[in-house]
Amino acid sequence: MRTKFGLFFLMLTIGVQVFAQDQYLKAKSDSIEKIYEAKDIYPVKSFSQKFKTQKPKNIILLIGDGMGVSQVFAGLTANKGHLFLENFKHIGFSKTQSANGYITDSAAGGTALASGHKTNNGAIGVDADGKPVKSILEEAEAKGLATGLVSSSAITHATPASFISHQDGRSMYEEIATDFLKTDIDVFIGGGIDHFSKRKDGRNLMEELKSKGYQVETDIMEISKVKKGKLAGLTAPVHNGRVAERGDMLPVATKTALNILDNNKKGFFLMVEGSMIDWGGHASSTRYIVEEMLDFDKVIGEALEFAEKDGETLIIVTADHETGGMAITGGNMQKGVVIGSFPTTDHTAVMVPVFSYGPGAQEFTGIMENTDITVKMRKLLIE
Ligand code: MG
Ligand code: ZN
């Protein structure tokens, strides 16, 4: 009996220790995700607030998917007090509710920003009745302006897709890829090779893009060498990796797109998405959010470099919705430490910030519907 009990207690003790070890590892990995501690910081600079015109010739729309005020402030703290975003002197808030949801998804949020129409969650480039609605990118194209889309996720994912595709469901990736060929978009860079070339219908859209005159590249180094003509840059089978894996793909892709689009003397419309600020929110990971937020701020820096020199470019930075209900419950500005806390792993209903810089920026202040952003952009660029 005694040995049996002895064995039982021995097993119990080992069990408790294994459990404790597990808890310890979990707590450790939780803290890796919950707490961000700055390693390298980058310098930010001030840009001129003087512009050549009243009305913009070009619009750059930068969408931080899932980027609320906390995500911005987490990035600002992590970079020890400064972001490129501080160059934006006109600030407003956008109400993100969709046609059928107090809480929007990225498809309805993207469609609202692209077309000025509220639609149902999951819908891409169609209104709440399923009718296709023109995006500002398509209108810019029709007007003879150059157009571009850049994303860290697959280029067929909901946010970029909303600017070029018209489908009932956001997961119709192959149909969305086909829609790229129905347009004259000049530049698109993002993941999604599989949706173009490993398809149920057997079509190889990468070959079709080549015969339409596109330079089709899959390596960001090669992509960055393209200076003119049409460019399809597909940098991953589906989505690109996190910053540690993809490096400066998004800022480099942005700079490349701006150089190419600038060849059109009539002007251009470019949308760039920092897709994974949202994914960090879904993962309740402060570290993931901060890494993606800082990468997105470097994209903002590239846009500012271009716009300052050009003097006729309006930049708008906003989000489709907030993700995670992120709160910042601790941190240290001098050390670049941020501690985040998350009540949900989903999107939230809260208003998101709208930052603008350049001719026309003063139009984008106050509290507005997400669809008002498009109405204002349309007035400045299309009408
Ligand atoms: Mg997105
Ligand atoms: Zn999301």
Relative to beta strand 327-332, strand 337-341 is antiparallel
Residue entry with tokens 């001098």:
334
Cα 325 to its chain centre, rounded Å, is 18
Write out pLDDT tens, residues 277-286.
999 999 999 9
Q: What is the 3-state secondary structure (H, E, C) of 81-140?
A: CCCHHHHCCEEEEEECCCCCCCCCCHHHHHHHHHHCCCCCCCCECECCCCCECCCHHHHH
Q: What gap in Å lies between CA 320 and CA 107, rounded to an integer?
A: 9
pLDDT surpassing 90 at residue 19: no
Cα 277 to ligand 2 centre (Å)? 9
Asked if residue 152 lies in contact with residue 132, where contact means CB atoms within 8 angstroms, the answer is: no
Distant-in-sequence, close-in-space partners of 144: CB < 8 Å, separation ≥ 6: 264, 266
Cα 172 to ligand 2 centre (Å)? 17
Q: How much is the pLDDT for 39? A: 85
pLDDT surpassing 80 at residue 16: no
As a dihedral over the C-alpha atoms of residue 347, residue 196, residue 298, residue 60, rounded to 10 degrees, the angle is: -80
Distant-in-sequence, close-in-space partners of 147: CB < 8 Å, separation ≥ 6: 137, 140, 141, 183, 184, 185, 186, 187, 261, 268, 269, 270
- Nearest listed ligand to the Cα of residue 104: 2
Q: How much is the pLDDT for 20? A: 53
Write out pLDDT tens, residues 54-85.
999 999 999 999 999 999 999 999 999 999 99
Residue entry with tokens 């697959």:
154
Phi, psi of 98 (to 5 degrees): -95, 180
Q: Which residues are catalytic?
A: 106
Q: How much is the pLDDT for 28? A: 57
Q: How much is the pLDDT for 31? A: 72
Cα 282 to ligand 2 centre (Å)? 7
Cα 214 to ligand 2 centre (Å)? 31
Cα 112 to ligand 1 centre (Å)? 13
DSSP code for 241: -
As a dihedral over the C-alpha atoms of residue 382, residue 95, residue 109, residue 254, rounded to 10 degrees, the angle is: 60
Cα 25 to ligand 1 centre (Å)? 32
Residue range 32-381, CATH number: 3.40.720.10
Phi, psi of 277 (to 5 degrees): -60, -40
Burial profile 173-199: b = 16 or more Cβ within 10 angstroms, e = fewer: bbbbbbbbbebebbbbbbbbbbbbbeb
- Nearest listed ligand to the Cα of residue 109: 1
Which residues lie across from 368 on neighbouring strands?
94
Q: How much is the pLDDT for 27? A: 55
Q: What gap in Å lies between CA 115 and CA 110, rounded to an integer?
A: 8
Relative to beta strand 187-191, strand 58-64 is unpaired
Determine the 3-state secondary structure of 41 from DSSP: coil
pLDDT surpassing 60 at residue 22: no
Determine the 3-state secondary structure of 341 from DSSP: strand
Cα 320 to ligand 1 centre (Å)? 8
Cα 221 to ligand 2 centre (Å)? 29
Write out pLDDT tens, residues 307-323.
999 999 999 999 999 99
Mean pLDDT of the chain: 94
For residue 17, name the pLDDT band (cuts at 50, 70, 90). low
Closest C-alpha among 237, 229, 228, 219 to residue 153: 237
Write out pLDDT tens, residues 30-62.
677 889 999 889 999 999 999 999 999 999 999
Tokens representing 22 are 């597990």
Which helix (DSSP H) or strand (DSSP E) does residue 147 occupy?
strand 146-154
Give the count of beta carbons closer than 10 Å to the beta carbon of residue 257: 30
For residue 181, name the pLDDT band (cuts at 50, 70, 90). very high
Which residues lie across from 215 on neighbouring strands?
231
Q: How much is the pLDDT for 14? A: 56
Mean pLDDT of 153-171: 97
Share of the chain above pLDDT 90, in %: 91
Share of the chain above pLDDT 70, in %: 92
54-57: long-range contacts at Cβ-Cβ below 8 A with a sequence spacing of 24 or more?
54/359, 54/360, 55/359, 55/360, 55/380, 56/267, 56/312, 56/313, 56/314, 56/358, 56/359, 56/360, 56/380, 56/381, 57/266, 57/267, 57/310, 57/312, 57/313
Mean pLDDT of 104-122: 98
Q: How much is the pLDDT for 1? A: 46
pTM, two decimals, is 0.93
All structural domains of the chain with their residue ranges: 32-381
pLDDT surpassing 90 at residue 210: yes
Ion ligand 1: residues, CB within 5 A, are 65, 106, 159, 275
Mean pLDDT of 250-272: 98
Distant-in-sequence, close-in-space partners of 76: CB < 8 Å, separation ≥ 6: 82, 83, 85, 86
pLDDT surpassing 80 at residue 299: yes
Q: How much is the pLDDT for 33? A: 86
Beta strands in 186-259 (DSSP E): 187-191, 214-217, 230-234
Tokens representing 19 are 């459990």
Q: How much is the pLDDT for 10? A: 58
Asked if residue 318 lies in contact with residue 354, where contact means CB atoms within 8 angstroms, the answer is: yes
Q: How much is the pLDDT for 261? A: 98
Write out pLDDT tens, residues 247-259.
999 999 999 999 9
Q: How much is the pLDDT for 313? A: 98
